[in-house]
Structure 1
């Protein structure tokens, strides 16, 4: 009976650890939130339908860019909007945020 109890406790601990690990935010989550907020500020008339994290690009040893593509709607028109968040490394201070429309 003790072995069964120990096995049960071990399985419970492993399951809990896996669930907790699955709930952690991805590394780009804070930049995604910033991209959404700045897009809503700059384009208040747009509805954000969805977005995709494109990735991080290093421009130099001390500069990186977090890249996103948003799918937006302005009335009847839907289009893509690229948002680049340029960061100063290593402290990840935002240098600039740029927006670029795309037809796809």
Structure 2
């Protein structure tokens, strides 16, 4: 019985450790996603964001990269997409440029 309880305790500790490790690792684009959300909310105040998609990262040159985000926004009962591109320095994560494009459906 002791071996069973000790094994169960070890398994529980392992599962807690794995879960904590998974939560600690956040995607590297998360910071820029928050910036993109803030930009869309500022450009369309009061309009709800219905959907959000990370479009990926594009390398511009040796140190610059661009993360793309697509938002589905509803304004005046019409849905449309907003593409936000955040270019930043990959070495220090400083934002260099933010581009916003509206795409009507």
The alignment's TM-score, normalised by the length of structure 2, stands at 0.86
The CA RMSD over aligned residues, in Å, is 1.7
Deviations 1:30-70 (A, max 9, x none): 21111111111122243211100111111111100111000
* Structure 1 unaligned regions, length at least 5: none
1:78 aligns with 2:51: no
Q: Report the equivalent of 1:17.
A: 17
Deviations 1:69-103 (A, max 9, x none): 00001112111110000002300100111111123
In 2, the alpha carbon distance for the partners of 1:5 and 1:47 equals 51
Q: Secondary structure at the match of 2:34?
A: helix
Q: Report the equivalent of 1:8.
A: 8
In 2, the alpha carbon distance for the partners of 1:100 and 1:45 equals 19
1:42 aligns with 2:43: yes
The alignment's TM-score, normalised by the length of structure 1, stands at 0.87
Count of equivalent residues: 104
In 2, the alpha carbon distance for the partners of 1:98 and 1:46 equals 19
* Displacement of 1:15: 1.5
In 2, the alpha carbon distance for the partners of 1:103 and 1:49 equals 15
* Structure 2 unaligned regions, length at least 5: none
Q: Report the equivalent of 2:97.
A: 96
